[in-house]
Amino acid sequence: MKGFFITGTDTDVGKTIVTTLLLHTLQQNGVSSIAYKPVQSGAEWKDEKWVAPDVEMYRRVAHVNEEECCTYLLKTPCSPHLAAKLDGVTIDPKEIVSHVRLLQETYECVLVEGAGGIAVPLVDDAYMIADLAADLQLPVIIVARTGVGTINHTVLTIEYAKKRGLSLAGIVMNGFSEPPTDVEMDNVRMIEKMTGIPVIGMIPYMNPIRFDEVNGIWKGEWWR
Answer yes or no: is 201 a known binding residue.
no
If you write DSSP's letter for every residue of 65-77 in order, what string do you get? -GGGSEEEE-SS-
Q: Is 216 annotated as a binding-site member?
A: no
* 41 marked as part of a ligand binding site: yes
Distance CA 105, CA 208 (A): 36
- Can you state the angle between helices 150-163 and 182-195, rounded to 10 degrees? 20
Tell me phi and psi for residue 172, to 5 degrees: -115, 125
**Residue 142 marked ligand-binding:** no
Which candidate in 2, 37, 75, 94 is catalytic?
Answer: 37
Q: How far is CA 143 from the centre of its chain?
A: 7
On whether 16 is known to bind a ligand per the annotation, the reply is yes
15 marked ligand binding residue: yes
Q: Give the containing element (helix H, strand E) for 214.
A: none
- 114 labelled ligand-binding: yes
Q: Is 217 annotated as a binding residue?
A: no
Q: CA 199, CA 84: separation in Å to the nearest integer?
A: 34
Known catalytic membership, residue 75: no
Helix ranges, the chain (H): 15-28, 53-61, 80-87, 93-106, 129-136, 150-163, 182-195
* 13 Cβ contact partners less than 8 Å away, ≥ 6 residues apart: 143, 144, 145, 174
Is 54 annotated as contributing to ligand binding? yes
Helix, strand, or coil (residue 31): coil
Name the β-bridge partners of 44. Answer: 51
Q: Is 12 annotated as a binding residue?
A: yes
Annotated binding site for Mg(2+): 16, 54, 113
Annotated binding site: 12-17, 41, 54, 113-116
Please identify every residue annotated as catalytic: 37
Annotated binding site for ATP: 12-17, 54, 113-116
Annotated binding site for substrate: 41
